[in-house]
Structure 1
Amino acid sequence: MARRTNELTIEELSVVNTTKVVKEIDFKTALSLFVDDCEIRNLRPQTIQYYKNELSVFYKILKEQDIILSMDTIAKDHIKRNVILYMKEKGLQTVSINTRLRAIRAFFNFLHREKYIKDNPLNDIKLLKDRRKVVETFTKEQLQKLFNQPNLRSFVGVRDYTFMLLLLETGVRVSELQGVCVQDILWNESKLHIRNTKTYKERLVPIQLKMKNQLQKYIQIRGVMETDSLFVTLDGEPMSKRQFQNRVTYYGKQADMNSVRCSCHTFRHTFAKLSVKNGAGIFELQQILGHTSMEMVRVYVNLFSDDVMDKHKTFSPLINLNFRM
């Protein structure tokens, strides 16, 4: 075998200078690398599970169309035609498509950033435009119906009555409620310490005398247990997010409330509505609700503030017109 020359050819130099590190990375390997990166960045378990679920469905969508490609050969057209249009044809709602696209984008952004793929197929692909729906909230009459449902002669009834009151009093997310422990109630300060937050930023939420009194009654009935979780099952286990949601749904059905979605998150929206109507400002709402941006808080203020309604009485175009009515 002849001795090779030491100087590299133009073709060999192009191999050295290429930015592509891994060739033909398959989905399973890519997903494993992405999940490892999520773990390193200390993302919430719920967020990591969301990525796993949505990306598994993404790969399933491609397989259903007999598209079995390595991640570095998936192109923008695959995303447009074989993912977005495919989901639309299957009748998925815009919000569901956008939820999946966010996960796919995070996945390919990671692969491109770490140079596992040369081109990012999600570049210039935007989320689908969606109509912003009116935020659903409970009316005072509906709240009365809901709170009339729990059987206050039972442990489950007192527990459910208490956690629904706490949802209404604080506007916390159900995932945050799930993480509340007995010692998180700061009795002397009249505050609730929210630790298990979506943003990883712990916060203190005020609670008033009525809420403190109800919590004291519930804790007395709850008794001493091995778990520190505030809300527990009959078996003494911490309640799950699904169990909180199922109880609210159950009481909604019991109250025959079909005109509004009976969910823990509807309590959050209702807290925002009633707080705005009672004079809460945008910064107080942001702090209590734990929003990182003002966008959703502004939506609440714009939707529920009586200021616009009151001022419209003075600037309505019909005021000085003499049309026959």
Structure 2
Amino acid sequence: MKRRQAVTSTNALNTLGKLASNTPQKVSFRKATADFLKHCRIKGLAPDSIKFYDKELKQIGRSLAEIDAPILDVNTIKTIHIENFIEYQQSLGRAVSTINSRLRAGRTFFNFCVSKKYVNDNPFDGIQQLKARHEIGATFTRRQLKKLIEAPDVKTFVGLRNLAVILTLAHTGIRLSELTSLRVQDVTFEGKGAINVQRAKNRYARRIPLTKRLRMVLRAYIEERGAIDTDMLFVTVEEQPISGRSIQSMLKQYGDITGVSKEVVVSPHAFRRTFCRLKVEAGTNIFVLQRLTGHSSLEILKRYVQIYGKDLEEAIEKGLEGI
């Protein structure tokens, strides 16, 4: 019997249709990345989160190309390629935390690819985070912190603003991204006063009460700042919102002037770590500290308790009296 040129059976056509629908379309790593970042923007992810994914996925794509992984079709990227990627990163001397960040970004990205049917399976399934040493970065001593706070010349607008920035970092433990997003209306002086962090990293707004000194300095700064077009709290002499990079540069400059930089890297996060350490040393309840700092998990704060908690000093003496 002569075969027909085209398939006409309804059952056969249905079967072929199902097979076709289960076959992922061919999409390159670069195209899939662009689609993923667009999805993140539409979803309303924080700019810093989008920047994180953009940066890490570029590094992943570049490394996969360098180890000859098939990046022209994401569906052909398999677990073995991810394992080779990890070994390649290790050979370059990348820190465990850096590799783990890329693994988290890659896993989330491929979950998106699965949902879009760009791939059948996530090649990161079965890939574990690398084990890292749970260490706490350097913190300032009280002497170093005092030097940095006393460094700005408060007789100038810039000096008063810089003191307000440094004191806000030191007395609240706020993140740099949260600090640069503060608006004038986020600071209240009613009662003891407070800073309302509206654009928090974990998307949960929180209130941080003001210390007496921070309350006094912020009130003086806001009065000197005056009413201008922008409502952002910290501004330049040109009355523009100050950038995170400018604050980092300013802190480094004061670190060099005071000599603190010779002992500790002066950065916004060093102030945050110091805030946590001082609060733990003072016996602040870890759940209260979590509310103040906005940590989504207690794991990091537990490290501070394990290292700086005073209960260790008290416990070590008990039962050993007179021995």
Contact kept in structure 2, 1:22 and 1:115, CA below 8 Å: yes
1:283-320 CA-partner distances (Å, limit 9, x unpaired): 1111111112221222222222211112112246x963
CA distance in 2: counterparts of 1:21 and 1:155, whole angstroms: 63
Q: How does 1:127-276 map to 2 (within 5 A)?
A: 127-189=129-191, 190-257=193-260, 258-276=262-280
Preserved contact between residue 194 and residue 210 of structure 2 (Cα < 8 Å): yes
Task: Name which of 53, 56, 78 aligns with 1:54.
Answer: 56
Q: Sequence identity, in percent?
A: 33
- RMSD between superposed Cα atoms in Å: 2.1
Look up the match of 2:29.
27
Give the structure 2 partner of residue 286 of structure 1: 290
Q: Determine which of 302, 308, 313 is the counterpart of 2:312.
A: 308
**3-state SS of paired residue (1:8):** helix
Question: Which shifted more, 198-207 or 302-311?
Answer: 302-311
Does the 8 Å CA contact 1:19/1:115 hold for their aligned counterparts?
no
Amino acid at match of 1:133: E
Unaligned runs of 5+ in 2: none
The one-letter amino acid paired with 2:238 is D
Question: What per-residue deviation string (whole Å, max 9, x for no partner) do you get for residues 189-230 of structure 1?
Answer: 411111111011111111122211111111222222211111
1:95 aligns with one of 94, 97, 109: 97
Sort the Cα spacing of 1:132 and 1:19 in 2 relative to 1 into closer, same or farther, 3 A: farther
- Letter of the 1:271 partner, please give it: F
After TM superposition, give the deviation of residue 17 of structure 1 in Å: 4.8
Question: Do the aligned partners of residues 302 and 4 (structure 1) sit closer, same or farther apart at CA in structure 2, a change above 3 Å counting?
Answer: closer
Asked if structure 2 preserves the Cα contact closer than 8 Å seen for 1:149 and 1:251, the reply is yes
**TM-score with structure 1 setting the length:** 0.91
User: Would the alpha carbon gap of residues 188 and 19 (structure 1) be closer, same or farther in structure 2, given more than 3 Å must change?
Assistant: same
Post-superposition CA distance 1:57-81 (Å, at most 9, x none): 2111122334443100001111111
Is 2:58 the partner of 1:78?
no
Q: Give the drift of 1:22.
A: 2.9
- Distance between the aligned counterparts of 2:284 and 2:208, measured in 1? 14
Structure 1's unaligned 5+ residue stretches are: 321-325
May I ask how many residue pairs the two structures share in their alignment? 317
Q: Matches of 1:115 and 1:35 in 2, distance apart?
A: 16
Aligned to 2:18: 16
TM-score normalised by structure 2 residue count: 0.91
AA partner of residue 303 (structure 2): V
Following the alignment from structure 1 to structure 2, what is the Cα–Cα distance between the partners of residues 215 and 106? 41
